[in-house]
Amino acid sequence: MTLQRIGVLTSGGDAPGMNAALRAAVRSSTALGAEIIGIRDGYRGLLQGDFEPFTNRSVAGIVHRGGTFLGSAREPEFLNPDAQQRGIRNLRDADIEGLLVIGGNGSQSGSLALHEQGFPTIGVASTIDNDLALVDTSIGVDTALNTATQMIDRLRDTATSHHRAFVIEVMGRNSGHLALMTGLASGAIGICTPEFPRSLDRIVEIVRNSIAIGKEYFLIVVAEGHEPRAADIARAVTEAGCIDSRVSVLGHVQRGGPPLVFDRLLATRSATMAAEALVAGKSGYLAGLVQGDFALVPASAAIKPTRKVTTELLQLAERLSQ
């Protein structure tokens, strides 16, 4: 069965590369002879029937732009099966036969729910949190890692000048991937992830050991999902009399900005694969990079809790910061 008319939406936190994915989705569908309808602001627009037919020109000049020109939203109401049914009705009323969902774990759970209720969907892995299982990485992760690492490099300038500790909070929701990778890339003496939490005592001990070997400044990277939080860690380090410390919460700057080449290519190829699969009548899959190649994986397995943080890499970071 070939679909003639499909929809596309971006949902959840915007990620650099979503626009490149939209461009590829629209132009690949058009090349296959399918009409494609943009749905504004994710599942919110789906519930409100905020639809707009796209042509290839609708996605001109966006491959290099951050954010998502289609808009995004967090729509908790969509967790409700009644709302999902309403969304399906809106799609069918507009003669839309299938839906492409560009987003992260929560968005792909919504996509899977529609599939399970009989409406064809294919997902495109896109989130800076890198919290989807089976895919190697998601659209936006590489750019976010680079942005956060550049910010940490700047903090290092002040840390070295003032002989201070900087405790830096990075995003990632329940995933410590951004913290681990930015910590490793910036030579942090401590990396705190929700997967392998560290106590205040242990962090103070790491700082004391570093002072004992002659270090005069420190970077500690903390995932936002870690307990204790970055502010508590900075306070504990200062109060232990180790070194003057400051907290820096990088926040949403990590999500913005133009996508790097890796994310543009990842987006272009994943979204093309997703559009081709949906138009060909497939459903219930997520398109992405899987062990170095592009593939479809079952959406039900991709949204299962995943751990991309390993003790090996955390230990490596610690060893190398000595």
Catalytic residue annotation: 129
Q: How far apart are CA 20 and CA 180, in angstroms?
A: 27
User: Are 38 and 58 contacting, i.e. CB atoms less than 8 angstroms apart?
Assistant: yes
> Considering only residues 255, 264, 269, 308, which one is a binding residue for ligand F6P as defined by CB under 6 A?
255
Measure Cα distances from 298 to 108, 109, 268, 269, 302 in Å.
Answer: 11, 12, 20, 18, 6
Nearer to ligand F6P, 105 or 186 (CB): 105
Show the binding pattern over residues 141-180: x = contacts ligand F6P (CB under 6 A), - = does not. Answer: ------------------------------xxx-------
Supply the Cα-derived Rg of the chain in whole angstroms.
21
> Considering only residues 64, 74, 89, 202, which one is a binding residue for ligand F6P as defined by CB under 6 A?
74
- Alpha carbon distance, N-terminus to C-terminus of the chain: 60
Strands 285-290 and 245-249: unpaired
Q: Is 115 a residue that touches ligand F6P (CB under 6 A)?
A: no
> Considering only residues 63, 100, 101, 128, which one is a binding residue for ligand F6P as defined by CB under 6 A?
128
Strands 285-290 and 293-298: antiparallel
Q: Is 13 a residue that touches ligand F6P (CB under 6 A)?
A: yes
Show the binding pattern over residues 203-232: x = contacts ligand F6P (CB under 6 A), - = does not. Answer: ---------------------x--------
CB of 67 to ligand F6P, least distance (A): 12
- Which of these, 114, 100, 112, 118, lies nearest to 25 by C-alpha position? 100
Site residues, ligand F6P (CB under 6 A):
12-13, 74, 104, 127-129, 171-173, 224, 255
